[in-house]
Chain A
Amino acid sequence: MSIDVPNTRRAKAQAKGPFGSVGKILDELDDRLGVAKGGRTFMDKIFPDHWSFMLGEIALYSFVILLVTGVFLTLYYIPSSDLVTYHGSYLPLVGQRVSEAYASTVNLSFAVRGGLLMRQMHHWSCDIFVGAIVVHMARVFFTGAFRKPRELNWSIGLTLLTLAIINGFLGYSLPDDLISGTGIRIAYSIVLAMPVVGTYIAFWLFGGNFPGTAIIPRFFILHVLIIPGIMLALVGAHLYLLVRQKHTQFPGKGRTEKNVVGSPMFPVFMAKTTGFLFIVGGITALLAAFAQINPIWQFGPYEASRISYAVQPDLYMAFLDGALRIWPSWTFHSFGHTIPFEVFVPAIVFPGLVFGLCYMWPTIERIFTKDNELHNLLDRPINRPKRTAAGVSVGMLIVVLFFASSTDVIANFFHVSLEEVLIAMRVLVVITPLISYPVTYKICKELQAAKGGKRKVANTVTRSEEGEYVATPAPVYVDDLHSDLAAMQVPRFIAPAPDDVEEGSGTRVVER
């Protein structure tokens, strides 16, 4: 600029332009990176506000908490199976020979300032993470948000769920305590059960026969580096697709397949979502403060000939444990070979089928509905009774298996015979999905207001001045009346320069 600026405050402020120092910094950024247009577009991005869209954010922010607390934990945990003698503040362990992994975790819990809180926050937020992913996945499924063009995002999300479950298993196995060590033994046997290649893969994964000394360091690297790295990339892709394809929205007043109605990224959505991040962190910290989780010092170190009763895996693995408990002992043994179907089917085939079905669902639905259109508006679950019933059916199967992993706890709690509980679970796991489907279907049909549905539509009765009563059908979804305002474009704060502006008046002109 060649304008001479007089040395007064007002002149200097004017010379900075209408947006002050911040504007000058942004100008410099734009000179180097060209971010002005893209940044403005990004900040104008509209996010629909429905509460069910918050569920994915619970998962995302739990992931953030996992990363932050996880970094703290890696600074103190020692991933080694070498034996050391424990000398610390927990008396029942003093003098016992334990692995370094176990000793460092106990030390982290008792001797490191804030260590127990961080450990518990990490573990609680992992349980919340997987639970939130499942709830979010259910929302996406029941509202049909996985349809074109979002099938890829559905697959990415499913992969994130799988990786979250695996990483959770690896994570709670790291302290090498009695209960998680038992879980590792079971995992080894499941790998062994694979036909033809089982023994090879098991020996390669573990560096030999169970337990070996390689498994803890390998689990560690998988848990803190490899899988979180993949997950970060996938979360990035998940969010990028979300921004590029824009979020779906429920049908309602002013909403079409061709627009998005909601609040802009900056400042409204950013405020709400950052606040939600803090709340997720706060609730996790409160849980970690008041509810103890995974007290490994009570379990003692893992030794292969020790076992405890009432050992269940964490909630996200429980459905597999339930399947293993209730599946009968049908094994195959012939021609000099054994195929342990009693392990192979519930632990490998069954989850493979369930996850495979989930991955294939967008394709399956496209085949059945013959619908290849783009969908940006969501379905109400009751308007798609078959899909909703199928989802509830499979969901109930998983829920029953979740309960089936606690057969002994249930038998003890209600003081009934263990065998009866198991047989009841076997009956339930077959009957519950079979019954859920028609029941859900019926309920959806009853609630529907669309053609063929049985829902009665309300009438609004108005009285004219002459005294005549007129009944008009009320809008089907009364919630659509929430907003009295029609949606409008995010306001543009800059007017194009009028033609009669003098040069050098301090007005910044922007070409749009």
Chain B
Amino acid sequence: MSDHEQRTPVELQGLAANDPHLQPASKNPKQAERVIAVCFVLGIIFVAAFGACFWINAQPWKIGATLGAGLSFLGIGLVAWGKYLMPQGPFVEDRHDLANSTDDRDAFAAAIVQRGGDVVKRRKLLGGLLGAGMGIFGVVAMFPLLRSLGPLPKKTLDSTDWRKGTYAVDITGRRVRVGDLAVGSIVTVYPEGTQNTDRGQAVDQTVLIRISNENFTTMKGRENWGPQGYLAYSKLCTHLGCPVGLYEQELQVLVCPCHQSTFNVLNGAEPEFGPAPRPLPQLPLYVDASGYIRAQSDFDQPVGPGFWERS
């Protein structure tokens, strides 16, 4: 057996053990080591505290604060170790050309072009048929991803559930009577029976406001649409479909809270400001013999935002 040490002495090629590159960056490594040790101890304490807070189900801020402090201290300690105590370098590495030699590139290109060309040149018909098959498959492969997801729109967007004689009810299902609203009041109404359904809420939602005690005409042709001062407009904004629930009774405007489109209540909800392009459709109303507010018919146009098929 030789007289060597327990391990073979490690020889650094071309680099002395006290080379400045291998020295820590800190001017006072012992001091840095103490600070990092403190960081780690604090980190351990806080991480343990996090465990304790979690165990006793403490308030969320305590759990989060201990976790955050613990991780931060551990991280700061680790970064400081790497930055101040490890070999400061700087070290260098050569970049080798990514590109291969011209010969290799030629061989690569030849493999694809020549081999492929040889095969297809002799079998042009097969190549064409394969291409056509892949193309058609590519198109129809989209069908399960798209068509199975949902129904065709058809005419779904063109109408709501309001019909001739439909009672207007509020969210609790209570029918609205002519004496319910004072001048300057607003209530969201739905066709009777739909107030708790998706379609009732999303499509049929209508604002009912009372602007006067006498019949009100918003524009020509709508003379009997506003009995005793009641006006009903679709609540779906014609910009992007947000509910236009914001009513200012002195300015007589409906404002959409999403992008601040402003609709003039008195002339058929014409948009006066903001990005909405069309007025809110108006629902023709009448008051029946018992004093209930009812619709004369559906809206005269599709409600909500625009789409291609909207004529």
Q: Which A residues contact B (CB, under 8 angstroms)?
A: 10-11, 13-14, 18, 44-46, 49, 113-114, 116-117, 120-121, 149, 182, 185-186, 188-190, 192-214, 244-246, 254, 257-264, 267-272, 274-290, 303-311, 321, 324-331, 333, 336-340, 342-343, 376, 407-408, 418-419, 422, 483, 485, 487-495, 502, 505-508
Known A121-B64, A264-B91: A203·B76 in contact at CB below 8 Å: no
Complex CA–CA separation, A180 to B274 (angstroms): 22
Complex CA–CA separation, A338 to B239 (angstroms): 13
Identify A418's interface contact among B10, B14, B98, B260, CB under 8 A: B260
Among B111-119, B174-182, B197-205, the stretch in contact with A: B197-205
- With a CB–CB cut-off of 8 A, which chain A residues contact B293? none
Complex CA–CA separation, A214 to B151 (angstroms): 12
Are A289 and B308 within 8 A (Cβ)? no
Size of the B side of the interface (Cβ < 8 Å), in residues, is 97
Q: Name B29-80 residues within 8 Å CB distance of A.
A: 54, 57, 60-65, 67-80
Identify B308's interface contact among A276, A280, A339, CB under 8 A: A339
- With a CB–CB cut-off of 8 A, which chain B residues contact A340? 277, 305-307
Closest chain B CB from A60 CB (angstroms): 15
Are B74 and A18 within 8 A (Cβ)? no
- With a CB–CB cut-off of 8 A, which chain A residues contact B198? 211-213, 304
Known A307-B243, A343-B239: A258·B94 in contact at CB below 8 Å: yes
Complex CA–CA separation, A336 to B311 (angstroms): 4
Are B75 and A279 within 8 A (Cβ)? yes
- With a CB–CB cut-off of 8 A, which chain A residues contact B201? 303-305
Are A331 and B13 within 8 A (Cβ)? no
Closest chain B CB from A409 CB (angstroms): 11
Closest to A202 in B: B153
Among B82-90, B100-108, B123-131, the stretch in contact with A: B82-90
- With A198-B308, A286-B69, A422-B273 known, 5 other A-B pairs at CB within 8 A are A275-B75, A278-B78, A331-B277, A336-B311, A487-B91
A sample of 28 cross-chain residue pairs with beta-carbon separation below 8 angstroms, ordered by A number, consists of A18-B7, A18-B10, A46-B92, A117-B63, A185-B241, A198-B308, A203-B151, A211-B198, A260-B95, A267-B86, A274-B75, A275-B74, A275-B76, A278-B72, A286-B64, A305-B201, A305-B235, A307-B243, A307-B257, A324-B275, A326-B275, A331-B277, A338-B306, A338-B308, A340-B306, A342-B239, A488-B15, A493-B10
Are B202 and A263 within 8 A (Cβ)? no
Complex CA–CA separation, A506 to B309 (angstroms): 86
Are A199 and B63 within 8 A (Cβ)? no
Among B142-150, B220-228, B281-289, the stretch in contact with A: B142-150
- With a CB–CB cut-off of 8 A, which chain B residues contact A493? 10, 12
Closest to A119 in B: B60
Complex CA–CA separation, A13 to B8 (angstroms): 11
- With a CB–CB cut-off of 8 A, which chain A residues contact B311? 336-338
Q: Which B residues contact A (CB, under 8 angstroms)?
A: 1-2, 4, 6-8, 10-15, 20-22, 54, 57, 60-65, 67-83, 86-95, 98, 146-147, 149-153, 156-157, 171, 188, 190, 198-199, 201-203, 205, 235, 239-243, 245-246, 257-261, 271, 273-278, 304-311
Complex CA–CA separation, A46 to B21 (angstroms): 14
Complex CA–CA separation, A376 to B244 (angstroms): 56
Complex CA–CA separation, A257 to B94 (angstroms): 9
- With a CB–CB cut-off of 8 A, which chain B residues contact A277? 75
Are A290 and B86 within 8 A (Cβ)? no
Are B72 and A283 within 8 A (Cβ)? yes
Are A278 and B74 within 8 A (Cβ)? yes
Known A182-B242, A336-B311, A339-B308: A329·B72 in contact at CB below 8 Å: no
Complex CA–CA separation, A264 to B87 (angstroms): 10
